[in-house]
Structure 1
Amino acid sequence: MHISTKEIEVRYAETDQMGVVYHSNYLIWMELGRTKLIEDLGFNYAEMEKEGVISPVIDIQASYKTPVRYGEKAVIKTWVSEYDGLRVTYSYEVYTSSGQLSLTGNSRHVCVKKDSFRPISIKRSYTDWHEAYLKAKGQPEATKGS
């Protein structure tokens, strides 16, 4: 299984009056982690968008554990936890500078045609991504299914 790591320097604008990172910023960090994972796998999401394909979030979950504060760095770990050729679930862990777990979460996505929002099969339309996701998830070739 491939786990991508992205370090973020917490900016003042990301915090509330208590100096704690505001909860919605973690969703942005999850996106940064997801983008880093895709880059680590050798792909570029912007290139897919140029082809008229987007990958909207269809479900998202976040569980907050320990706050990250202004002046700290956050470390986002991202990996593919589920993939079926059509839908992909990315999982995340965010850690504080001192290594404390700050957040666990996941986001589920499906690729769709930008103009119609009709789902497309990653397996059929983007075979390179499909193979990379299988490998990143650690799924052996023999269990790929149909």
Structure 2
Amino acid sequence: MGLSGKSRLRVRYAETDQMGIVYHANYLIWFEVGRSEFFRDLELPYTKFEEQGFSLAVIEANCRYRKPAHYDDELEIITTIEKITSRSITFLYDIYRDNTLLAQGKTAHLFINKEGRHTDIRNTDLWAQINCLLTKTDLRL
């Protein structure tokens, strides 16, 4: 596997339905939490992407629900880079309560510029920072 990070959160009441079970769309929000915290832990928060004129556009998202999460559960989100190029990045997610796997997911993203166009970040400071991190962790580009 590639470079990964862990995030923790507690299920809020507003994220559940009348039965106290987490509404399915919230898992996609938690994937974003995982991505954001992952990049922040690498000292590459999304604000650095934006300062350099780039964003990550979601082009694919899926989730496999295995067991339900409930109000007040403490969850761990493991976010892993599956694949990265100078034009795109794909993440994998595992969401756990204690040692129980609740959900698995995947999102694919394109690097886009300020005009919203798909772009190659190879000749940018951002790519140099990402490449340095990946080289340190032995994840090949």
TM-score normalised by length of structure 1 = 0.86
Does 2:133 align with 1:128?
no
| Partners of 1:83 and 1:134 within 8 A in 2 | no
Query: What is the CA-CA distance between 1:3 and the residue it aligns to?
Result: 1.9
Distance 2:39 2:16 in 1: 27
Q: Once the two structures are aligned, what percentage of the paired residues are identical?
A: 31
| Partners of 1:83 and 1:133 within 8 A in 2 | no
- Alignment-derived partner of residue 28 in structure 2: 27
- Alignment-derived partner of residue 64 in structure 2: 63
| Partners of 2:3 and 2:139 within 8 A in 1 | no
Q: How does 1:70-109 map to 2 (within 5 A)?
A: 70-96=71-97, 98-109=98-109
Corresponding residue SS for 2:36:
helix
Query: What is the CA-CA distance between 1:14 and the residue it aligns to?
Result: 0.3
Does 2:54 align with 1:50?
no
- Structure 1: stretches of 5+ with no match in the other structure: none
Q: CA RMSD in A?
A: 1.7
| Partners of 2:112 and 2:119 within 8 A in 1 | yes
Moved more, 8-17 or 44-53: 44-53
- Alignment-derived partner of residue 114 in structure 1: 114
Which one-letter code corresponds to 1:124 in the other structure? N
Query: What is the CA-CA distance between 1:2 and the residue it aligns to?
Result: 2.8
| Partners of 1:19 and 1:69 within 8 A in 2 | yes
Distance 1:17 1:58 in 2: 31
Which one-letter code corresponds to 1:122 in the other structure? I
Distance 1:6 1:105 in 2: 15
Identify the structure with the greater helix proportion: 1
TM-score normalised by length of structure 2 = 0.88
